[in-house]
Amino acid sequence: MFYSDPRKYNSPFRAQVMVTLLNQLAQPRKSPIRLIERSIHSNRFCFIEAIKKSGLISDGDFQVLDECYEWSRHLPVMKLDLIVYLQSTPEICAERIRKRSRKGEESISMGYLQELHDLHEDWLLGEKSTRLPAPVLVFDCSEPLEKVTSNYYNRRDEVFCGIKV
């Protein structure tokens, strides 16, 4: 739904993403390690920034989402030990999206993927990386998935910050 009419759905969708992420983090831990696919940080500095740059969000809606981010990033459950960046090209991301054929993703444009790629690169590795909440570990995910999996197992101790699981 978001991709079919981003101007209409972007603010409520991004707010729902933030609430969902916070709810997941508020759940009691079952292990000393918690891996999450995305964070409120990537939501703010990549996805919300993308809709702001595209003019798909009002200044008021942006301010509300930014204030929610600023408030929530200081919560104890928000402490991150590590950011694992699965770096790839927009072209490879587009191909993987096409292959998995997930409903609702068929209208994602190459322009949007390029914009998200650029925002992630700038946030995690570029000029904005001074605002990172944790160190960044980069995996080159442009390789075939078998190679990515092998690289992960070779660097598993880094991913888990030395904690045995």
Q: What is the mean pLDDT of residues 11-40?
A: 88
Q: What domains can you pick out in the chain, each with its CATH number?
A: 6-159 (3.40.50.300)
For the stretch 111-130, pLDDT in tens is 999 999 999 999 999 977 77
Average pLDDT score, the chain:
90
pTM of the model: 0.86
Give the Å distances, CA to CA, from 71 to 33, 58, 148: 24, 20, 36
Task: Let me know if 37 is a catalytic residue.
Answer: yes
On whether 155 is known to bind a ligand per the annotation, the reply is no
For the stretch 42-70, pLDDT in tens is 999 999 999 999 999 999 999 999 999 99
On whether 96 is known to bind a ligand per the annotation, the reply is yes
37, 70, 143, 158: the catalytic one is 37
The rounded distance, in Å, linking the Cα atoms of 120 and 125 is 8
Q: Tell me if 26 sits within 8 A of 72, measured CB to CB.
A: no
